[in-house]
Amino acid sequence: MNINQQTITQAGITAASALGGAMASRVVASKLDAVIKKPIYRHSLVALVGIALIAAGNTKETSGKIMQSAGTGIAATQLSEVLKLALTPKDKPMEDGILKTAVGLAAPETVYVESTTPYDYYDYEEVPNDTEQTMFLSGSTSSSFAEV
């Protein structure tokens, strides 16, 4: 194994291309929603485009490696969506287990319940104020001082 600047750069380009392909494939699949109504067909079509990019890329050129990496990201992302759709029952959620974790199905939504009681509420605006307010510099007009 030979790790140097060139191999690290190539690995970074490969990873970035795969990530970019995966992100772009999600956008394309969501935009195709208006054209192709069934999600399994839509994701399968985008996955086939990714596989075609992998097959068409020339590994001897940098652009071909980028194209293959992007195709890998596209195919992997969309094929995982196809597996989710194919393996998830329509009438009930998938049971917890390795398969659910492997295909990346979402966890159930957490429901938060408010637990404050009405006894915690104290309206400070309604508190009667029985103390007399003194005005600022009111001592200067007090009768205890001599007039000037």
**Rounded average pLDDT over 106-129:** 66
Residue 134: how many CA atoms within 13 Å on its side-chain side? Answer: 7
Q: 52-70 as b/e, with b when 16 or more CB fall inside 10 Å?
A: ebbeebeeeeeeebbbbbb
pLDDT band at 20 (very low <50, low <70, confident <90, very high): very high
The chain-wide mean pLDDT, for the chain, equals 81
- Asked whether the beta carbons of 67 and 53 are under 8 A apart, the reply is yes
Determine phi and psi for 143, rounding to 5 degrees: -75, -10
Which pLDDT belongs to residue 134?
A: 59
Mean pLDDT of 84-112: 75
The C-alpha atoms of residue 38 and residue 69 are separated, in whole angstroms, by 27
Pull the structure tokens for residue 6. 């060139």
**Residue 24: which pLDDT band, with cuts at 50, 70 and 90?**
very high
Taking the C-alpha atoms of residue 69 and residue 60, their distance in angstroms, rounded to an integer, is 13
Tokens at 101, concatenated: 């974790």
Would you state the pLDDT for residue 15?
A: 95
Question: Interior CA angle at 127 toward 121 and 131, to 5°?
Answer: 150
**DSSP state for residue 46 in the 8-state scheme:** H
Contact 56, 110 (CB under 8 A): no
Mean pLDDT, rounded, for 59-71: 90
